[in-house]
Structure 1
Amino acid sequence: MTRQQRDTLDALLRSAPSDHNPEPEAERLAFAQALTRPAPEGVATRRTVLGGRPALELRPSGAGRRGLLLYLHGGGYVVGSPDTHAGLVGELARRAGTPAVSLDYRLAPEHPFPAPVDDGLAAYRELLAGGMDPGELVVAGDSAGGGAVVALLLAAREAGLPQPAAAAVLSPWVDLTLSGASMRTKEDADPIFTAQDLRAYADHYLGDRDRAHPWASPVFADLTGLPPLLVQVGSNEVLLDDAVRLAGRAGADEVDVTLEVWPGVPHVFQHHYGRLDDADAALDRVAAFLTEKAAARPAVAR
């Protein structure tokens, strides 16, 4: 069924409206209507505040009291929220047997770079200050949220904070200069984005700021000292080379990195769990990776 499921999903995505650059508020509404899935059955949700920002806590039934997943949602730094990603994050938390907190970081253009990184770092600081063992803390994100996760790790390193046990990024957007070859070579294969779409998001987020800044485009950063990293991407993405180059950069900098390129699937295909076998398999792989790395990380004495 996988090939048929991929073809059906591709056709569905190509039939959707393709304008990615209306006014931000209109696009946020359209994004929420198209993407939102509720938290899965057996995952309780609760509104909370973390690092001074609203957040959504997702706790699977039977989850232990130890360990936590901090999640940064995708949306080009312009759209998206913990609500749009409640299904995806809840599924990941359920499969990992770990509670999660999805952060409602500030969005551009009202709050441009580096507001999401600052918010992620403030949330991470609060978790550590509250007694969370970094060896029991994992982080994950998709698309722009994946880029923000890597930027958060860099910011934490710069601030002298301990790294989490592991990180996973799904279809990460980590080059806002849009210099990857797949921006051109995969444009016909990608049913969601073109380089022009991503340029519009980058314009909202960065304005006239340096698009190669390590926190905006971590593919150009020194990644030395980052925790074990899992990178997943679909082969039908203009962002394919973002993921491939990120993994290559991490490997060159002696990071324990795993790259998975899933054939014939689109951007953040994991959103389509329950409808696409690849999505369910990928989420299982992410959950196993994060729990394995957290279990292997020795506790930090305090």
Structure 2
Amino acid sequence: MPSHQHLLLKQFLTAATGPLARQQPSLGSLRLGLEIGSLFQFLPWGVYLESIRIEGMAAEWIRPKNAPAGRVLLYLHGGGYVLGSLNTHRSLVGTLAQRCNLHALAVDYRKAPDYPFPAALDDARLAYRWLLEQGYQPHNIIVAGDSAGGGLALALLIALRDEKLPLPAAAVCLSPWTDLVLPTALIRRVAHEELQLLEALTIRGWGGQYAAEVPLTHPLVSPTQADLRNLPPLLIQVSDAEVLCDEVLGFAGKASRAGVPVTLQTFEGLVHWWHLFWRLVPEARLALDQVAVFTNGIWAAQAEAARLVREARRSKTAAARLRAHS
């Protein structure tokens, strides 16, 4: 059962989206509204900001105090490939970095419709390659994103695998947009709830703006259409009340059948983007704490694998010495 805080949030969002649906605001107005809303979001205490540029692309390091230097979270923000920025997600990335005890690199990838596919993917690939050039090892990088950013993170993994580039240690996908083909049956299913209907109709249009001249079924546009073999471990979080829920569950199942280690965590009755409201909604804090459990598990598994390799080498060396003296 969702918390009282989430109920208040949902009531507020429902009240706000009604007038928006009737006014049909421009994309510029929506972007401005999100930017204004971001003025009331702040980094957690003890987390520091460093603005940089990566070959002209705006980006920023979000650094928790005392986080280890060699590990990094590459974060790709959500917003339907048309909205969102470093500003709108800074607070979320900050608390995620702090909970995971990781330095985070957030990038302001290009948005549709001015920059359709593959601009966002090219920028994500650029950021990943830049990290490698800075000396970060692939096994010390985790890619993360929410909504469209989660789908972009998955597309990045698929593109890197197909290019035979070294893959990151894992990916964290918060309510990822895995399939830009929103079926009419889904629209009918959510038509009874204004908030969900607005989300479905809106993102259906955004998907077309992002895909532009390529089919919505392109595997790097809709990752659920791709061959998912040989991807690194995935953490996927989704609420059963989200428009994207069925598609996310379908993607998780397909990835599991392809042999990908998938940790699927479902939440009850929460709105899309609930993670952004972590200061208000306890379910968001719980979800982000679960991300930290997952990332710590990745590092622990790596340490255990390294220990087993060392033990095997010592055993091999000891056996060779024994043979030499026998």
Query: Could you say whether these structures have the same fold, taking a TM-score greater than 0.5 normalized by the shorter chain as the test?
Result: yes
Q: Is the 8 A contact 1:69 1:98 kept in 2?
A: yes
Between stretches 177-186 and 9-18, larger displacement belongs to 177-186
Instruction: Name the CA shift for 1:93/1:117 in 2 (closer, same or farther; >3 Å).
Output: same
Shift of 1:67: 0.1
Partner of 1:8: 8
Aligned match of 2:310: none
- Asked which structure has the greater CA Rg, the reply is 2
**Mapped contact 2:232–2:261 kept (Cα < 8 A):** yes
| Match of residue 108 from structure 2 | 104
- Does residue 63 of the first structure (1) align with residue 67 of the second (2)? yes
Instruction: Check if 1:283 corresponds to 2:279.
Output: no
- State the partner residue of 2:82: 78
TM-score by length of 1: 0.93
1:117 to 121, 138, 157: 121
Q: 2:142 aligns with which of 138, 142, 152?
A: 138
Aligned to 2:92: 88
Aligned-partner SS, 1:85: helix
Q: What is the aligned partner in structure 2 of residue 249 from structure 1?
A: 254
The offset of 1:187, in angstroms, is 4.5
Identity %: 41
Aligned counterpart, 1:26: 29
RMSD: 2.0
TM-score normalized by the length of structure 2:
0.86
Determine if the alignment matches structure 1 residue 239 to structure 2 residue 248. Answer: no
Paired AA for residue 41 in structure 1 = W
Count residues with an aligned counterpart.
299
- 1:180–1:151: structure 2 CA closer, same or farther, 3 Å change rule? farther
4+ long deviations beyond 6 Å: none
C-alpha distance in structure 2 between counterparts of 1:197 and 1:106, whole Å: 19
Choose from 217, 220, 227 the match for 1:222.
227
Aligned-partner SS, 1:274: coil
Structure 1 residues 179-188 or 285-294, which shifts more? Answer: 179-188
Query: Any conservation in 1 of the 2:38–2:87 contact (CA below 8 Å)?
Result: no
Question: By how many angstroms is 1:51 displaced?
Answer: 5.4
* Shift in alpha-carbon separation, 1:145–1:70, aligned structure 2, 3 A: same
Structure of greater relative contact order (alpha carbons < 8 Å, 6+ residues apart): 1
Partner amino acid for 2:204? R
5+ residue gaps in structure 1? none
Q: Structure 1: which amino acid aligns with 2:227?
A: D
Deviates more, 1:160-169 or 1:24-33: 24-33
Cα distance in 1 for partners of 2:56, 2:299 equals: 26
Does the Cα contact within 8 Å between 2:3 and 2:282 map onto a contact in 1? no
Task: Answer yes or no: is the 8 Å Cα contact 1:121–1:152 preserved in 2.
Answer: yes
Q: How does 1:252-263 map to 2 (within 5 A)?
A: 252-263=257-268
